[in-house]
Structure 1
Amino acid sequence: MPGLPQIKAHASLGALSSADNDALVVVYSEYAGFSSLQSAGIAQIIDAAQPFAKVDKEFGKSVVLVPAATVGGGRLVLSPMGSLDDDTDDVRKIADAVKAGVVRAIEAGARRAAVFVAHGPPSSTADQTADADYSRWVEVALLAALDASYVTLVVREHREAAAGGDKVLEKLDSIDFAVADGSASASELARAVQRATAIETGRRLAMDMGYGDAQRMTPYNCAQTIQSAVEGVAGISYEEIKDLDVIKREYPLLYNSARASFSEPSTWPCVVKLEYRSPAPSEVKEHLYLVGKGVTYDTGGITLKIGAAMRGMSRDKLGACGVAGFVLATGLIQDRGVDLSCILAFERNSIGPNALLPDEVVVSRAGVRVLINDTDAEGRLVMTDPVAECKERIVAARARGDAKPAAIYTAATLTGHVIRAYGWYGATVANGPARRGGFDRRLAVSGLAYGDPFENSIMRREDFSLVASKTDREDVYQSNAHPSTQTDRGHQYPAAFIIRASGLDKHSLSAGPGTAIPFVHVDIAGSAEDGVEPGLGLCAITGSPVATFAGAFWTN
């Protein structure tokens, strides 16, 4: 992975030097309000823009580049974000304006952009709407600028391989970031830069893998990419399991889901385990167990996806990619208050003579008999046995007297239903202990602050009733035989299956405080992509939920 652009943060516009930059991006609420500001440097910007404002009544209402001899490179980009105090306004308006402005500067030829946010968000929560949180706005703005500079792995590799091609591996060399006087202190800005660079590095690992197609990012290649990224990062250990006999014994649902891929060794499944340990064990407040779905291509198996339904299924691994990115970011920030144990299950859900079949009964790691109804519902299969392993580890730790709070999270692009229900947003589905402890709400609060809002869904008795066996031939139904988009509660009931098939149902609220284990299923099928299709191409990848997890779990 190439390094990020050099970032410097300044507590005022006057601290910027035009000699260091070749474009200035000014982000503001309304142009009229900006043009009335009186502080060092703003008058020169207004003077440069005034000739254009005089002849265009719409000037300043959309992103525009004007020549200005007083700014670096002569490029002045004005990027309005609009109001921040209406019913549905949130920090994403700042991110959108910063990114749009930086993209325009890059298009104009800039490589050393400066960004000045002239109008900060409301400083008091009393002035914010009920569903807005601007506490991380500086980090969000920095992440937006970095996102504009990112070049995907597949493009970087193409440029490096192309004879005489443009080998630019990053769109910007540097970013100077300035805020209005009094918006943030120097120490706050320094801390925001540190957090944002760690988060962005994690997001880029997730996106590098996510943009890779099924041949570029096979299960083994995903594992190698992760290993290379975390190698040498303090506190992170890496382990991979490739032996099919071991996978069959330890992760039987993954093994059987992947059977059709065994005819080609390059598509064999593997399991990646990542551990992060705090540099200050006495300060650890919780131990998190994270499971990621890493289906590198999903044909649907024997329950074949038809029509256009297979399009984009090289991205069915984004849950595992996001978890890996979060672990990397945590290692880079060296968070002192959390320990992480992560299991990433990579497979290709192929079709062939040895494929898993509907009507099969497969026994999970927890000894639960699972009736297969739909091989296209493979995501819950590949995550269930890792969840069971996490449960076993928590029980063992408690038996040793380890009293640290522990919880299990799954992250997956699991269902189309979540997009039908909420659009391009992620959703959390929590069990009773997690709901009582506010674990799902914790992600919603963090997602709001980082511009990655999550909806909190609730499991109901119908979810468990749907998967409950009605005969003595199995213990639980994997799914029904219809797509999730055609199923009531299509993104909620898979969490009930995971709980039942992993044995987590023995650790519900009724088990009591010493036995109950919080569990949150995070469906990122909506939030992992931006929902904007570029013609016949695929949507952009967002890196969700790396930033949301960082905001929810980091303590320093």
Structure 2
Amino acid sequence: MAMLPQIRIHSAYASLSADGHDALVVVYSALDNAALVGAAAAGWASAIEPLAKADKGFGSSVVLVPAPSVGGGRLVLSPTGSLDDDTDDVRKIAAAVKSGVARAIEAGATQPAILLVPRLPAPGAVPDADYSRWVEVALLAALAASYVTLVVREHRAATAGDAAVLEKLTSIDLVVEGAADAAALAEAARRVAAIEAGRRLALDMGYGDPERMTPRNCAQAIKTAVADIPGIEYQEVTDLDVIKAEYPLLYNSARASFSEERTRPCVVKLEYRSPAQADVKEHLYLVGKGVTYDTGGISLKTGGSMRGMSRDKLGACGAAGFVLATGLARERALNISCILALERNSIGPNSLLPDEVVVSRAGVRVLINDTDAEGRLVMTDPVAECRERILAARAAGCTTPAAICTIATLTGHVIRAYGPYGATVANGPARGAGLDRRLAAAGLAYGDPFENSIMRREDHQFVRGRTDREDVYQSNSSPSSMTDRGHQYPAAFIIKAAGLDKHSLGAGPHAAIPFVHVDIAGSAEEADVPGLGLPAITGSPVATFAGAFWTA
């Protein structure tokens, strides 16, 4: 995994040394507050004034200005625009920082300083915005501009050797002008370093093509990343007989991949234990969908829709990244049990077939209608295992609150419904505990907004078995994007097939188990597609989960 640039935090521009940085990126909301930092701006006035006179639009977009008074002679002005209008939120700060740093890198900078002087709205002034984590969001954006993908790092290392550039920046000086709490800034930098390390694990795996990141290679990448991280234990299951017995839905979904060892399925288990068990307030059970390539199986994807299906593992990537970040942060209030179901949904003589009935780990008979709806299959038995473990812990006297979350790039429907936003679908106990809204609030603060979808009776009725041959239907045979409630009803399937229907609100408070399905098909990739290439990967929802489950 790539090393992060050195991060230095300052509360005043005056504390910067001109020879410690080679570009100054100024992030502001309006040029009139590029009176910015008073005396400092006076040194830029002679450079800015001619451009401002010649260009009516000067200051409304990113611009590089030669300025001898700043480090490297490079002054980059990057405006956020308004921050207090109806639809404004912290992502405008992230976009300004990332664009400004990218421009500095393009100009040749490797050690930029970033001066943050946006005019923030008063807390609560914008109903659907939260600027409480704006410094962390800004630093994460700068780090995103610096990141070089694993496949590029490996290519450069192979072709350029020791001279290879494996990271765009060597250091970042972040200046939050007028910040009064130095300890809070240092804590923000610490959190960001952990979040970014987790996000980079997710990105490294996500950008790997289907041969670079086969199920076993994904497992190896995770194993390497978490090695020697205090509090994290790693385990993998590769024996097909064990997978067949313990994860029958995963086993049958992956059958066509068995002919080649490198494409066979793998289950990775990660356990994070707080260094202070007395401080633990909750235990999160996390399940990630890791389909390293999705052909659709025998329900073959056609019409070019197989393109980009190497990204169908991003749920598992994000889950693994969050566990790594939590270990690096040494989070005290949380334990995590994470199961990642890794497979290639191949096509061949041994493919899973529509009309088959497969019995889940929970003993539920599942009628297969569409082998391209494999994500819910591979996650269901791990969810059943989490259910078993929660019940066993309760039977042993454990009173720590526990919840289950699935993370997956599951449906095209969520993109049709919400565009570039992820969605949560929660059962009654999770809704009652506000867990889905907690995730949405954290996403808003970290610039990764989520929509809260509500599960309805129609979702459960849709998948309910109609004959004596099955207990539950896995799906219909139409694309999710052409199906009413196409991203909600898969959560109802998981609940039924994993046995979680026995742990709803009606089971009572002692038997109920909160469950949230998190569909990141919209948020895991950026909306813009670069020509014929694949979209950039965002690292969602690593920061969101950190915001939701770490202590403040």
> Whole-Å Cα distance in 1 between the matches of residues 30 and 454 of structure 2?
40
1:234 is aligned to: 230
- Residue 351 (structure 2) aligns with: 355
Where does structure 2 lack aligned partners over 5 or more consecutive residues?
Answer: none
Task: Please show how residues 9-408 of structure 1 align to structure 2 within 5 Å.
Answer: 9-31=9-31, 33-37=32-36, 39-122=38-121, 124-126=122-124, 128-163=125-160, 167-181=164-178, 183-408=179-404
Superposed CA offset, 1:322-364 (max 9, x none):
0000000000000000000000000000000000000000000
- Distance in 1 between residues matched to 2:309 and 2:44, nearest whole Å: 47
Q: Distance in 2 between matches of 1:16 and 1:449?
A: 28
Q: Please give the alpha-carbon distance, in whole angstroms, between the structure 2 residues aligned to 1:325 and 1:255.
A: 25
The 5-angstrom pairing of residues 545-556 of structure 1 reads 545-556=541-552
Alpha carbons of structure 1 residues 66 and 288: separation in structure 2 relative to 1, 3 Å = same
- The answer to whether the 8 A contact 2:268-2:340 is kept is yes
Give the drift of 1:229. 0.2
| More divergent stretch after superposition (11-20 vs 483-492) | 11-20
After TM superposition, give the deviation of residue 39 of structure 1 in Å: 2.3
Equivalent residues of 1:60, 1:80 under 8 A apart: yes
On the 8 A contact 1:53/1:59 being kept in 2, the answer is yes
Offset of residue 184 of structure 1: 4.8
Contact 1:13 1:40 in 2 (8 A): no
- CA-based RMSD of the aligned residues comes to 1.0
The letter for the 2-side match of 1:87 is D
Shift of 1:256: 0.1
Letter in 1 for 2:2: P
Q: Tell me, what secondary structure is at the counterpart of 1:162? A: helix
Partners of 2:298 and 2:352 within 8 A in 1: yes
Q: Unmatched 5+ residue regions in structure 1?
A: none
Q: Verify: 1:486 aligned to 2:482, yes or no.
A: yes
Matched residues in 2 for 1:388 and 1:214: separation? Answer: 28
Distance 1:203 1:363 in 2: 36
Secondary structure in 1 aligned to 2:320?
helix
Which range moves more in the overlay, 349-358 or 50-59?
Answer: 50-59
Using the TM superposition, give the Cα deviation of residue 188 of structure 1 relative to its aligned residue in structure 2, in angstroms. 1.3
Amino acid at match of 1:243: D
Task: Specify which of 425, 430, 442 is matched with residue 426 of structure 2.
Answer: 430
Secondary structure of the corresponding residue to residue 143 of structure 2 = helix
More moved, 13-22 vs 399-408: 13-22
Deviations 1:452-494 (A, max 9, x none): 0000000001100110011000000000000000000000000
- Residues in 2 aligned to 1:470 and 1:12: alpha-carbon distance in whole angstroms: 68
Give the Å deviation of 1:185: 2.0
Counterpart in the other structure of 2:452: 456
| Structure 1 residue 167: Cα displacement | 1.0
Aligned equivalents of 2:438 and 2:200: distance in 1?
24
Query: How far apart, in 2, do the equivalents of 1:63 and 1:213 lie?
Result: 33
CA shift in 2, pair 1:184/1:525, >3 Å: farther
Aligned to 1:2: 2
Determine what percentage of the aligned residue pairs are the same residue. 73
Q: Which of 405, 408, 413 is matched with 2:409 structurally?
A: 413
Give the distance between the partners of 1:327 and 1:184, measured in 2 at CA. 32
What CA deviation, in whole Å up to 9, does each residue of 1:209-231 have, x standing for no partner?
A: 00001000000000000000000
Instruction: Give the residue type in structure 2 aligned to 1:327.
Output: V
Q: CA deviation at 1:396?
A: 0.4
Distance between the aligned counterparts of 1:169 and 1:553, measured in 2? 32
**2:184 aligned counterpart, secondary structure:** helix
Check whether the contact 1:288–1:339 (CA below 8 A) recurs between aligned residues. yes
Superposition deviation, residue 161 in structure 1: 1.1
Q: Say which SS state the counterpart of residue 322 (structure 2) adopts.
A: helix
SS at match of 1:125: coil
SS at match of 2:305: coil
Contact 2:37 2:177 in 1 (8 A): no
d(CA) in 2 for partners of 1:168, 1:38:
34
Looking at structure 1, the residues matched to 410 and 384 of structure 2 have their Cα atoms a distance apart, in angstroms, of 18
Q: Match of 2:174, as an amino acid? A: F
Counterpart of 1:21 in structure 2: which amino acid?
H
For the 8 Å contact 2:83–2:119, the answer to whether it is kept is: no
Residue type of the partner of 2:16? L
1:426, CA displacement in angstroms?
0.2
Shift of 1:179: 1.4
Is the 1:120–1:180 contact (alpha carbons within 8 Å) kept by the matching residues of 2? Answer: no
Deviation, 1:35, is 3.5
Question: Could you tell me whether the CA contact under 8 Å between 1:139 and 1:192 is conserved in 2?
Answer: yes
Q: Structure 2-normalised TM-score?
A: 0.99
Residue 15 of structure 1: CA displacement?
A: 1.2
Q: Return the offset for 1:37.
A: 4.0
- Structure 1 counterpart of 2:141, one-letter code: A
Q: TM-score, normalised by structure 1?
A: 0.98
| Contact 1:35–1:46 under 8 Å retained in 2 | no
Question: 1:110, 1:120 → 2: CA distance?
Answer: 26
Letter in 2 for 1:294: G
Checking the alignment, whether the CA contact within 8 Å between 1:159 and 1:165 is kept in structure 2 is no
Q: Equivalent residue for 2:493? A: 497
Using the TM superposition, give the Cα deviation of residue 513 of structure 1 relative to its aligned residue in structure 2, in angstroms.
Answer: 0.3
Offset of 1:34 from its aligned partner? 2.3
- Following superposition, which runs of at least 4 residues in structure 1 exceed 6 angstroms of deviation? none
Cα displacement (A) at 1:49: 1.1
